[in-house]
């Protein structure tokens, strides 16, 4: 038995002919925030559903909390907290009733649920909305309630599938703050996301998935160091004008990526590359020197941009 | 589809002239037929539901006409003549199906479009106004009700339940009935807050269906109850259509028609006003 | 939030089978206790209104008819109809509860997905959902019976048996329908078709309002497959005291088989849909 909360070896998921997860290895350790980063259709949600013991694996090994999901599904689920991609709150019940009913599904006593619900409503800052029907909550509030609901059984492991997709920036930050607090209290979190900033903010360690496979693994900083340069120079050109430039500039940077609307030049010193480019007569409409992000890692690994 | 288009255009044209003059600009663009077209398009994906609506009164006619009819023998018609039980209930079922079709489209599906699909919000981003919406939805309910009524009249004719050429007028009469119920339905739905309020629709529709002299003549009631039943709109619909299919139409028919004109007008005015408040706030 | 024992597999069931089922029922009850109002009209008031309209209104038309007396076995039409409408209303309530709400819980509200993320299994959820529908039938049937007994329409211990038969009949229709609903991906008119071409004809042609012997001989066998016909025969026989042991056993047998098959199909379909 390993000391990982989740351990997968050669894990696969097939839906008929289509193979959503094509043999992945993962280890999630206690107390860390582990991320799955990838575009839609990369196999993140299928993996999450297998870990959540609601989708039997097609092949490979999987242990969650030291148990086999195929054998001990209910026992494992009793100790998980799941935040699904789409909220499945009961919109016709009040905020508090949602927590009560859900806690009971875990076998908790009414008294225990009552105490827990009050505590969790406070944690997700919904105490003053406790008696409102869920239907009247904003998207961000519903998401917070879903997180509160997933905490009702004091889970040892939390699974969050795209927790902030569709939320406005303010709601996202509030949610991140709550997740960060959970992490500080020692919770183990597995998060899927297709937002780079979310992965950088929250994850101690992450895997990049593409086409059902893991294409890279490490901490955000490790991945950036390994797959990108310290800085990036972005050059924007009028439509159609950038096509002739990559050849002229190729030797100035470690790597050049051509996107539909701009050129990305990867180098340790972006300003120096910009100066050299100007000397060669390049006249972009705008320029930007920035630090490398996971977006650049992703572009390097998969050959395409993630958010467009 | 092109016949449908013609029909809806004609329907619009007749109203447009008058309405454009009496309504403030912005509420009515004279394009209610676009909504009828949309409904016709959308109905193609639920054609089964549309077609099956025709069978509902037919099942009742067969079961009650044959099964109950065998227990009852004959019933007294509007002028005291003896009718077979099937001939007695058939006009009642025709009136009921005109009501049900109109109520379904103007309450349940209207509410879904208003509250959940947000269909009308999208329409108001175009030149269409709330009055176009009210008219268009009533128009569609009318078309659908008209198709059911025509089909059912055909069945009545085939199996010999029609005894007078006056029955030809039963079709326009059914349309009057349908438009009155559709207007009231939309007006009432515009006040509803959640799907829970639809039990009130049931509460209005079910007793009317059962007690409006549909399955037994008014004479079985004590006189106080008779007065109450005569206030139901469905009672007027049943009486009107029964007098036409049995060929005893008299001046009382005009009284029934007046009832529906008033009901349709009030419903339409309330519906337009409410939709304006709901959608253009 | 980290457990000391997290590496030790804990094989003790979190909730034993029936305990899990009752937690599901409890969840559905919580929902119902906040949203019950809308169901009163359709499941209690509607059958009572039908009883008044047909039993009293239509009944007065045939009060002196010898043909009618022959068909009903000499009992007043109101008494003939009352137990049958108990079964009809059980089937109608079951039909509604087993269609839209089921598909919605899978597809739109997604509450089933939430429940199976807990220790509760799809099979337990399926049985819990069916148990809940049975409870609903018991409650609305009880309310209907209470009213008609207060008015003295029917009385005697047979009424209690009729109550049970009506609930069984409703569930024999509900269980296969829940399995069907759980297999639907889109609404797409399937339910409209079920209501128009199954529920309504069943209501009208199952010997509720008149004996099926009044129907043309060729269509009579159709009534035999209708669970409502079996339920009506049982409920009416129990109230009027005319139940024959052999006939009763075969009606009961048919309904129980239908229920069992339906329950298995529902459990299987819930498993398929919630663990793919």
What's the length of chain B? Answer: 281
A74 vs C14, C24, C113: nearest CB: C14
Contact C9 A66 (CB under 8 A): yes
Say whether pLDDT at A308 is over 50: no
* DSSP letter (8 states) at residue B114: I
Q: For residues A110 and A162, state if they share a domain.
A: yes
The pLDDT score that the predictor gives to residue B9 is 52
CATH number at residue A250: 3.30.70
Name the residue in chain A with its Cα closest to that of C123.
A74
Say whether pLDDT at B15 is over 60: no
Torsions phi, psi of B76, nearest 5?
-75, 130
Calculate how close chain A gets to C16, using CA atoms only, in Å.
Answer: 10
3-state SS, residue A89? coil
Tell me the mean pLDDT in the region A196-206: 90
Nearest to B103 by CA among B59, B63, B53, B169: B53
Q: Quick check: is A308 in a domain?
A: no
Say whether pLDDT at B151 is over 70: yes
A232 touches C at CB < 8 Å: no
For residue B62, list chain C residues with Cβ-Cβ distance below 8 A. 204
Nearest to C126 by CA among C274, C258, C276, C256: C274
Give the count of alpha carbons within 13 A of A33, CB side only.
Answer: 23
* DSSP letter (8 states) at residue B163: -
Say whether pLDDT at A253 is over 80: yes
Distance CA B126, CA B279 (A): 13
Name the residue in chain A with its Cα closest to that of C109.
A88
Tell me the mean pLDDT in the region A109-124: 95
Name the residue in chain A with its Cα closest to that of C106.
A88
Q: Are A253 and A273 in contact (CB under 8 A)?
A: yes
Calculate how close chain B gets to C17, using CA atoms only, in Å.
Answer: 34
Contact C189 B75 (CB under 8 A): no
Q: What percent of chain B has pLDDT over 90?
A: 35
Contact C214 B66 (CB under 8 A): yes
Distance CA A297, CA A203 (A): 15
Name the CA radius of gyration of chain C, rounded: 21
Calculate how close chain A gets to C8, using CA atoms only, in Å.
Answer: 7
Q: For residues A204 and A236, state if they share a domain.
A: no
Q: Are B56 and B49 in contact (CB under 8 A)?
A: no
Q: Quick check: is A300 in a domain?
A: no
Cα angle A38, A44, A48; round to 5: 150
For residue A102, list chain C residues with Cβ-Cβ distance below 8 A. 114, 118
Range with the poorest average pLDDT among A191-195, A203-207, A213-217, C189-193: C189-193
Any chains having at least 3 CB pairs less than 8 A from chain C are: A, B
Q: Quick check: is A141 in a domain?
A: yes
**Could you write out the DSSP letters of every residue in A57-74?**
-SEEEEEETTB-HHHHHH
Q: Which helix (H) or strand (E) holds C241?
A: none
Q: For residues A145 and A256, state if they share a domain.
A: no
**Average per-residue pLDDT for chain A:** 90
Cα B153 to its chain centre, rounded Å, is 15
Q: Are B20 and B30 in contact (CB under 8 A)?
A: yes
Contact C120 A74 (CB under 8 A): yes
Contact C57 B46 (CB under 8 A): no
Final residue of a structural domain among A217, A246, A272: A217
Range with the poorest average pLDDT among B90-104, B120-134, B217-231, C53-67: B120-134
Q: Quick check: is A86 in a domain?
A: yes
CA distances from C135 to B236, C16, C90, C106 (A): 41, 21, 11, 21
Q: For residues A60 and A171, state if they share a domain.
A: yes
| Domain span including residue A235 | 229-291
pLDDT per position as a tens digit, B154-190:
999 999 898 888 888 999 999 989 999 999 999 999 9
Distance CA A282, CA A275 (A): 10
Q: Quick check: is A267 in a domain?
A: yes
| Bridge partners (DSSP) listed for residue A235 | A263, A287
Q: pLDDT tier at B277 (50, 70, 90 boundaries)?
A: confident
Say whether pLDDT at B281 is over 80: no
Calculate how close chain B gets to C228, using CA atoms only, in Å.
Answer: 15
CATH number at residue A162: 3.40.50.300
Q: Which residues of C touch A (CB under 8 A)?
A: 1-3, 6-15, 19, 23-24, 26-27, 30-31, 34-35, 109-111, 113-121, 274-276
Q: For residues A21 and A59, state if they share a domain.
A: yes
Cα A196 to its chain centre, rounded Å, is 8
Note the pTM of the prediction, 2 decimals.
0.86
C62 vs B46, B49, B72: nearest CB: B72
A182 touches C at CB < 8 Å: yes
Say whether pLDDT at B2 is over 60: no
Q: Are C194 and C267 in contact (CB under 8 A)?
A: no
Q: Are strands A286-291 and A231-236 parallel, antiparallel or unpaired?
A: antiparallel
The pLDDT score that the predictor gives to residue A58 is 96
Tell me the mean pLDDT in the region A187-192: 95
Interface of A with C in 55-74 (CB under 8 A): 55-56, 65-67, 72-74
Contact C193 B220 (CB under 8 A): no
CA distances from A227 to A34, A203, A212, A258, A282 (A): 19, 17, 20, 17, 27
Nearest to C216 by CA among B63, B59, B159: B63
The pLDDT score that the predictor gives to residue C188 is 63
Tell me the mean pLDDT in the region B111-137: 80
The pLDDT score that the predictor gives to residue A2 is 56
**Strands lying side by side in the sheet with A262-267:** A255-258, A262-267, A231-236, A286-291
Any chains having at least 3 CB pairs less than 8 A from chain B are: C
Q: Are A233 and A289 in contact (CB under 8 A)?
A: yes
Largest CA distance in chain A: 75
Q: Quick check: is A176 in a domain?
A: yes
The pLDDT score that the predictor gives to residue A243 is 66
Q: Quick check: is A137 in a domain?
A: yes
Q: Which helix (H) or strand (E) holds C46?
A: helix C46-50
Rounded to 10 deg, the angle between the B130-158 and B170-189 helix axes is 140
3-state SS, residue A157? strand
Contact C41 B202 (CB under 8 A): yes
The pLDDT score that the predictor gives to residue B54 is 86
The pLDDT score that the predictor gives to residue B25 is 56
Q: Quick check: is A1 in a domain?
A: no
Name B203's Cβ contacts closer than 8 Å, sequence gap at least 6: C41, C45
Contact A90 C111 (CB under 8 A): yes
Q: For residues A210 and A240, state if they share a domain.
A: no
Spans in chain C with pLDDT lower than 50: 1-9
Tell me the mean pLDDT in the region A5-9: 96
**Average per-residue pLDDT for chain B:** 83
* DSSP letter (8 states) at residue A51: H
Q: pLDDT tier at A307 (50, 70, 90 boundaries)?
A: very low
The pLDDT score that the predictor gives to residue A123 is 93
C38 vs B63, B199, B206: nearest CB: B199
Q: Are A298 and A286 in contact (CB under 8 A)?
A: no
Cα A99 to its chain centre, rounded Å, is 25
Q: Are A80 and C128 in contact (CB under 8 A)?
A: no
Any chains having at least 3 CB pairs less than 8 A from chain A are: C
Say whether pLDDT at A65 is over 90: yes
Distance CA A279, CA A273 (A): 10
Distance CA C145, CA C43 (A): 12
Interface of A with C in 263-282 (CB under 8 A): none
Say whether pLDDT at A1 is over 70: no
Contact A87 C15 (CB under 8 A): no
B vs C: CB pairs below 8 A: 105
Tell me the mean pLDDT in the region A30-36: 95
Our CA dihedral for A58, A63, A68, A70, rounded to 10 degrees, sits at -30
Say whether pLDDT at B134 is over 60: yes
Q: Are A196 and A295 in contact (CB under 8 A)?
A: yes
Contact B71 C68 (CB under 8 A): yes
The pLDDT score that the predictor gives to residue C7 is 46
Say whether pLDDT at B227 is over 60: yes
Name the residue in chain C with its Cα closest to that of B63.
C204
Distance CA B33, CA C197 (A): 32
Residue A16, Cβ density class (10 Å: 0-12 exposed, 13-18 middle, ≥19 buried) = exposed
The pLDDT score that the predictor gives to residue A303 is 73
Distance CA C119, CA C117 (A): 7
How crowded is residue C189: how many other Cβ atoms within 10 Å of its Cβ? Answer: 17
Name the residue in chain C with its Cα closest to that of B46.
C189
Interface of A with C in 88-127 (CB under 8 A): 88-94, 97, 100-102, 104-107
Contact C14 A186 (CB under 8 A): no
Domain count, chain A: 2
The pLDDT score that the predictor gives to residue C146 is 94
* DSSP letter (8 states) at residue B24: P
Say whether pLDDT at B78 is over 70: yes
Q: Are C117 and A86 in contact (CB under 8 A)?
A: no
Beta strands per DSSP E along A65-187: 80-83, 157-161
pLDDT per position as a tens digit, A150-173:
999 999 999 999 998 888 888 889
pLDDT per position as a tens digit, A125-158:
999 999 999 988 999 999 999 999 999 999 999 9
Name the residue in chain A with its Cα closest to that of C128.
A105
Cα B155 to its chain centre, rounded Å, is 19
Q: Are B61 and B94 in contact (CB under 8 A)?
A: no
Q: pLDDT tier at B23 (50, 70, 90 boundaries)?
A: low
The pLDDT score that the predictor gives to residue B242 is 94
Say whether pLDDT at B237 is over 90: yes
| Bridge partners (DSSP) listed for residue A233 | A265, A289
The pLDDT score that the predictor gives to residue C12 is 65
Distance CA B88, CA B75 (A): 7
């Amino acid at each position: 038995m390993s000391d990982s909360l989740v351990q997968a070896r050669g894990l696969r998921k097939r839906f008929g002919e289509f193979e959503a997860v094509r043999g992945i290895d993962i280890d999630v350790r206690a107390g860390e925030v582990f991320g799955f980063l990838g575009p839609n259709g990369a196999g993140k949600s299928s993996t999450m559903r297998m870990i959540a013991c609601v989708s039997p694996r097609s092949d490979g090994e999987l242990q969650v909390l030291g148990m086999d999901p195929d054998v001990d599904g209910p026992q494992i689920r009793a100790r998980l907290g799941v935040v699904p991609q789409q909220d499945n709150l009961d919109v016709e019940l009040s905020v508090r009733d949602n927590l009560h009913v859900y806690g009971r599904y875990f076998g908790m006593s009414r008294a225990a649920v009552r105490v827990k619900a009050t505590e969790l409503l406070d944690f997700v800052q919904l105490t003053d909305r406790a008696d409102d029907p869920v239907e009247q909550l904003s998207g961000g509030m519903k998401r917070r309630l879903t997180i509160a609901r997933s905490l009702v059984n004091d889970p040892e492991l939390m699974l969050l599938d795209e927790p902030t997709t569709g939320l406005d920036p303010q709601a996202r930050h509030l949610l991140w703050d709550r997740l960060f607090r959970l992490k500080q209290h020692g919770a183990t979190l597995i998060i899927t996301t297709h937002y780079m900033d979310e992965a950088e903010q929250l994850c101690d360690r992450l895997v990049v998935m593409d086409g059902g496979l893991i294409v890279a693994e490490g901490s955000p900083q490790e991945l950036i160091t390994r797959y990108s340069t310290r800085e990036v120079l972005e050059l924007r050109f009028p439509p159609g004008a950038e096509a002739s430039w990559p050849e002229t500039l190729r030797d100035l940077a470690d790597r050049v990526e051509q996107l539909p609307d701009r050129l990305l030049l990867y180098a340790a010193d972006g300003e120096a590359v910009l100066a050299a480019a100007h000397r060669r007569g390049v006249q972009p409409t705008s320029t930007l020197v920035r630090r490398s992000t996971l977006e650049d890692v992703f572009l390097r690994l998969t050959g395409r941009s993630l958010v467009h | 589809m092109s016949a449908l288009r013609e029909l809806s255009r004609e329907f619009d044209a007749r109203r447009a002239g008058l309405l454009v003059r009496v309504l403030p600009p912005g509420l009515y663009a004279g394009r209610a037929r676009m909504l009828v077209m949309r409904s016709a398009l959308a109905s193609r994906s639920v054609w089964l539901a549309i077609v099956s609506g025709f069978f509902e009164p037919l099942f009742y006619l067969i079961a009650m006409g044959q099964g109950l009819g065998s227990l009852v023998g004959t019933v007294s018609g509007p002028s005291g003549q003896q009718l077979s039980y099937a001939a007695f209930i058939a006009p009642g079922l025709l009136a009921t199906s005109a009501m049900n079709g109109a109520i379904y489209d103007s309450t349940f599906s209207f509410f879904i479009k208003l509250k959940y699909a947000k269909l009308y919000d999208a329409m108001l981003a175009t030149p269409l106004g709330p009055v176009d919406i009210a008219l268009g939805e009533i128009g569609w309910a009318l078309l659908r009700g008209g198709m059911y009524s025509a089909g059912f009249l055909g069945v009545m004719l085939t199996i010999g339940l029609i005894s007078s050429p006056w029955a030809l007028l039963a079709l326009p009469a059914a349309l009057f009935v349908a438009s009155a119920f559709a207007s009231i339905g939309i007006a009432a739905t515009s006040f509803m807050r959640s799907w829970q309020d639809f039990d009130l629709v049931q509460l209005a529709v079910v007793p009317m269906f059962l007690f409006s002299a549909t399955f037994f003549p008014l004479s079985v009631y004590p006189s106080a109850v008779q007065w109450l039943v005569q206030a139901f709109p469905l009672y007027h619909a049943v009486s009107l259509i029964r007098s036409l299919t049995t060929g005893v139409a008299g001046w009382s028919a005009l009284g029934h028609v007046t009832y529906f004109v008033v009901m349709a007008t009030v419903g339409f005015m309330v519906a337009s006003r409410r939709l304006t408040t709901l959608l253009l706030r | 939030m980290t457990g000391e024992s997290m590496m030790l597999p804990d094989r003790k069931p979190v909730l034993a089978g029936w305990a899990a089922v009752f937690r599901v029922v409890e969840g559905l009850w919580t929902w119902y206790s906040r949203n019950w109002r809308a169901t009163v009209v359709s499941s209690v008031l509607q059958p009572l209104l039908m009883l008044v309209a047909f039993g009293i209104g239509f009944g007065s038309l045939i009060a002196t008819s010898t043909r009618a007396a022959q068909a009903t076995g000499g009992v007043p039409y109101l008494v003939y109809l009352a137990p049958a409408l108990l079964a009809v209303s059980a089937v109608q309530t079951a039909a509604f509860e087993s269609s839209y709400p089921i598909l919605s819980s899978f597809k739109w509200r997604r509450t089933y997905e939430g429940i199976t993320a807990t220790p509760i299994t799809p099979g337990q959820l399926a049985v819990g959902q069916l148990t809940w529908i049975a409870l609903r039938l018991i409650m609305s049937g009880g309310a209907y019976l209470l009213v008609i007994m207060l008015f003295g329409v029917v009385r005697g211990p047979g009424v209690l048996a009729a109550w049970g038969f009506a609930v069984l009949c409703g569930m024999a229709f509900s269980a296969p329908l829940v399995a069907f609903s759980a297999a639907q991906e889109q609404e797409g008119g399937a339910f409209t078709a079920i209501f128009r071409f199954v529920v309504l004809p069943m209501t009208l042609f199952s010997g509720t309002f008149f004996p099926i012997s009044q129907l043309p001989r060729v269509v009579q066998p159709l009534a035999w497959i209708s669970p409502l016909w079996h339920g009506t025969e049982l409920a009416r026989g129990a109230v009027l005291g005319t139940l024959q042991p052999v006939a009763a056993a075969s009606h009961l047998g048919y309904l129980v088989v239908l229920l069992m098959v339906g329950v298995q199909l529902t459990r299987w379909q819930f498993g398929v849909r919630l663990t793919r």
